[in-house]
Chain A
Amino acid sequence: MASNLERFPSVEWFQKLADITVEDENYRRYGRLNALIAFKYGKTNISCNFDVLDINNIHQINDDELRDVDVVVEMPTNIWDEMLENISENGHATGEWTLNTLDLRLEEEIHKNLMEDGFKADLFFRYNPSLQVFIDNASKLI
């Protein structure tokens, strides 16, 4: 049973997710990636450094620091909750609940670079298969 500290969206929760993911063969088969990505849930921002095949330097950042990351993944908290529920039920996100689908279907895209840097914002697509495995591994935490 996860402690309060380990509950989404805490640093501890993301650290556990990273620990599982870097050992996941499905993640490793998608290959290397290099991106600083922040996950924004309400007022909580967690920054993760996807560093080749490692995921490190996971820590909380404030809103000003979001400008320094490559990609911010943000969606309404109820959508975060429903997405994680879908992942929990199915072991992975199904159809409408993948990051890629939510990004296109929601009124506002869920990925952005706050400096409007198209090169950096596109890392969301360049590494989407890897990021989906990362998020899908939440099924092993919830």
Chain B
Amino acid sequence: MVQQPDAIPTEETQTNDLSWMDKTLGWGTRARPELNGGGLTIDAINIGVYADIPDRIHYRNRRPRGAWPVDVGNIGGYYLQDKYEQWADVAGLLYEETISRRWSTATEIPWESINEIPEDIELAICQVATELCQQASVESEVISGWLQNLSPGYHEVKIYLSTAIFDSARMFDGYRKRAMVNGGGMLFESPGKLNRLIYESYAGWSETVLAQYIMRGSFQKNILRYLSVYGPTEADRILAWRILSDRTRSIAYAVDHIRFAISQVPALRETLGEWLTRVELVQLDETRDHVLWEALAVIFGRGVRNIDSGMSIVEKLKKDWIHDYLQYLKTAGIDRTNKIPNPMQELIAEDVGASE
């Protein structure tokens, strides 16, 4: 079909409104890159009127902070409108850091170093990989689910969390690849009790942060830390070592967020403490499952025949985990030293040493 040429524009259609051109709150703002190679960072553009990060975002819609408002009213989502509910001063830096320190499990792990290792150790590392995959998958889904509830007025937090989801995806892909690379594959699904609690922690974002990043984060941090030293192959050690860096970044957001929240609303110290009691009991219940601990003991002891010596290293790992958990909370403003359940108290009271 032959197209007819467009009608010649009339004078009326050529008239442009252009009234949008004076709808700016900060015309003339010129952000500058940071020194020392940091470039133009998300924090560096918080200047002039755009440096004002209010304690509450009074609209519940998609307006970017500092944009000229259009009266569209509130829309679904964006229920967290207060800064204390989501903010962390370090979020912008963590966002830039995650991107700057990006890496690939495909090309930066010496997968070729995984030669034939004894079957019991391969089974054990695949069991650990299966559980870490599952935890990472839960993390991606839970954090993604929260994003629409966080206000776009605090974009530093939202964009940091988008990179945190990428980090959890990398943990998933790294450990799935590990399970698949040497004949083992996926093994036994974890009991998933803490998974369920994290999924159900919709009482508040801070509650999710505590369960996902402080409790589970400190747990994973220590598993990764020990795997980075006791992993059976170079690939296992490097994979854990690199993911350990990623893991401590999300813990940093969590500590800084909880610290900020409590500094703004001191009563949260008590209410979040009550939530932690539940988190600790569920985590404790999950740690009664022997599968993960046995798998780690087989790895650390270099085989089933040395599982006892491996288990003494596992006991040290548990002690380090509880120590880290308490220290993160203390740094954030919550002292749980004398409030954690008895079995956790006993772990840090005992002088457990690795049998190396």
Partners in one complex: yes
In the complex the two chains form, what is the Cα distance from A118 to B127 in whole Å?
A: 30
Q: Does A6 contact B (CB under 8 A)?
A: no
- B298 CB, min distance to chain A CBs, angstroms: 18
A31 touches B241 (CB 8 A): no
Question: Is chain B's interface secondary structure helix, strand, loop, or mixed overall?
Answer: helix
**A104 contacts which chain B residues (CB < 8 A)?**
225-226, 228-229
Quick check: is A122 within 8 A (CB to CB) of the other chain? yes
Chain B neighbourhood of A100, CB < 8 A? 225, 228-229, 241
Partner of A31, one of B102, B247, B252: B102
- Can you list, as one digit per residue, whether each of A115-130 has a CB less than 8 Å from chain B (1) or not (0)? 0111101100111110
Q: Would you call B242 and A129 a contact (CB within 8 A)? A: yes
Q: Which residues of B sit under 8 angstroms from A51, Cβ to Cβ?
A: 36
Query: Which residues in A have their C-beta under 8 angstroms from that of B247?
Result: 125
Chain A residues whose C-beta falls within 8 Å of the C-beta of B229 in the assembled complex: 100-101, 104-105
How many of chain B's residues have a CB under 8 angstroms from any CB in A? 35
Contact of B251 among A33, A52, A53, A122 (CB under 8 A): A122
Inter-chain contacts of A126 with B (CB < 8 A): 97, 245, 248-249, 252
Please tell me if the beta carbons of B37 and A128 are within 8 angstroms of each other in the complex. no
Q: Are A52 and B225 in contact (CB under 8 A)?
A: no
Say yes or no for B4: interface residue by CB 8 A criterion. no
| Cβ distance A85 to chain B, nearest Cβ, rounded Å | 20
- A24-46 with Cβ < 8 A to chain B: 30-34
A30 to B245, CA, bound (A): 11
A12 at the interface (CB under 8 A from B): no
Residue picked from B229, B242, B256, B324, most chain A C-beta under 10 Å: B229
Known: A31-B97, A32-B96, A53-B36. Is A118-B242 also a contact (CB below 8 A)?
A: no
Number of interface residues of A (CB under 8 A): 25
Q: A118-B327, A128-B241 are in contact. Are A31 and B101 (CB under 8 A)?
A: yes
Considering the complex, give the chain A residue whose CB is closest to the CB of B102.
Answer: A31
**Chain B, range 30-81, C-beta contacts under 8 Å to A:** 34-38
Q: What mask results when residues 90 to 125 of chain A are scored 1 for a CB within 8 Å of chain B, else 0?
A: 000000000011001100000000001111011001
Q: Do most interface residues of chain A lie in helix, strand or loop, or is the interface mixed?
A: mixed
CB of B272 within 8 Å of the partner chain: no
Instruction: Write the nearest CB–CB distance from B69 to chain A, whole angstroms.
Output: 35
The verdict on B255 contacting chain A, using a C-beta distance below 8 Å, is yes
Q: What residue of chain A has the Cβ atom nearest to residue B94's Cβ?
A: A126
Question: What chain B residues lie within 8 Å of A53 (beta carbons)?
Answer: 36-38
| A122 and B228 alpha carbons, distance in the complex (Å) | 15
* B208 vs chain A, min Cβ distance (A): 19
Q: Is the CB of A54 within 8 A of B36?
A: yes
Select one of A52, A117, A118 contacting B324, CB under 8 A.
Answer: A118
CB distance B256 to A119 under 8 Å? yes
B244 touches A125 (CB 8 A): yes
B residues within 8 Å of A by Cβ? 34-38, 93, 96-97, 99-102, 221, 225-226, 228-229, 241-242, 244-245, 247-249, 251-252, 255-256, 259, 324, 327-328, 330-331, 356
Provide 15 A-B residue pairs closer than 8 Å at the C-beta atoms, listed in order of the A residue: A31-B100, A33-B97, A34-B97, A51-B36, A100-B225, A100-B229, A100-B241, A101-B229, A104-B226, A105-B229, A116-B330, A119-B256, A126-B252, A128-B241, A128-B244
Given A53-B36, A119-B259, output 11 extra A-B contacts at Cβ < 8 Å: A32-B37, A32-B96, A33-B101, A52-B37, A53-B38, A104-B228, A105-B229, A116-B327, A118-B255, A122-B252, A129-B242
4 tightest A-B CB contacts, nearest first: A31-B101, A31-B100, A53-B37, A118-B327
